[in-house]
Amino acid sequence: MNITLKVWRQAGPKDAGKFETYQHDGIVEEMSFLEMLDVFNEKLLEAGTEPIAFEHDCREGICGSCGCMVNGRAHGPKDGATLCQVHMRSYKDGDTITLEPFRAKAFPILKDLVVDRSAFDSIIQAGGYISVRTGAAQDANMRPVEKAIADEAFDAATCIGCGACVASCPNGSASLFTSAKIAHLNMLPQGEPEKYKRATAMVTAMDDAMFGACSNHEECEATCPKGIGVEYISQMNKNLIWGELFEHDS
């Protein structure tokens, strides 16, 4: 299979960057998307040119490292999958694939397809933990949690922090990420006592990191590799509104 690759090349954070077009042949459909890039990078190295920088780690869809815009869609064409879970069988001979880094002011480009997602860490640092004393480890099921709530909290907790929600959002908003990180703690007994404080702290950190404002296009939900839904955004808003209006101390 022969593919035309149109890749965003940017030497460093200060560089202007531009698209470069390459021909890549000898691709087999069993290759994963990232393997295809690995093989291409070998060719670039052999030719003495700089390989394409892209982030990756586990390559099984659970670490959240990989991802870029593939033909304008975060993580490529497959629903519910990270870029590393896409295989070249999704493409056919002669296709053109455009690769561009996630774009947001809060995600500065470091090199080629690699962006700095530390802004997500600042949101977690603001409240993505519990600080109440829970004592020593208890027996399992000592504190019953309703199955439906446990499931919902778990769904939120599947967020791998890849940044696809921000990349897909017309406003560059991190609402889906932040809301998932708030929800999985706020819904469970350990996180519940601090839920209003947490919502305010994490939303403030999100705003301070210069992410945009949600306008409910729901593009994030459509491209989230973990299928996290916008209902968590609504829940985050409810926690924030209630907390700011009625539960604010001082």
Partner 1 sequence: MNPIARLYKSTIGKKVIMAVTGLIMVFWLLSHLGGNTLMFLGQEWMDAYAHKIHNLGPLLWVMRLGMLGVIVAHIWSAIAVTRISWAAREHSYKGGRKTNVSTWSARLMRIGGIIIVLFIFWHLADLTLGWVHPDFKMQEEGGAAAYHNLTVSLRQIPVAIFYMVSVIFVGLHFSHGIQSGFQTLGLNHPKWNGIRKMTSWGLGTLIAVGNIAIVAATMFKLIGGE
At residue 122, what are phi and psi to the nearest 5 degrees? -65, -30
Site string for partner 1, 154-193 (x = CB under 8 A): --------------x-xxxx--------------------
Report the site for partner 1 in 54-113 (rule: CB under 8 A).
69, 71-73, 98, 100, 103-106
Using the minimum distance from each CB to partner 1, give the nearer residue, 95 or 207: 207
- Rounded CA gap, 185 and 193, in Å? 10
Query: In the complex with partner 1, which residue's Cβ is closer, 62 or 95?
Result: 95
Q: How far apart are CA 157 and CA 77, in angstroms?
A: 24
How far is residue 108's CA from residue 104's CA, in Å, rounded to a whole number? 7
Site for partner 1 in 208-237 (CB under 8 A): 210-219, 221-223, 230-231, 233-237
State the DSSP H helix or E strand holding residue 5, giving kind and residue range, or none if neither: strand 3-9
**How do 96-100 and 3-9 pair as beta strands?**
parallel
Shortest distance in whole angstroms from residue 76 CB to partner 1: 11
> What gap in Å lies between CA 18 and CA 124, rounded to an integer?
33
Which residues bind to partner 1, rule: CB under 8 A? 6, 8, 19, 69, 71-73, 98, 100, 103-106, 168, 170-173, 200, 203-204, 206-207, 210-219, 221-223, 230-231, 233-241, 244-246, 248
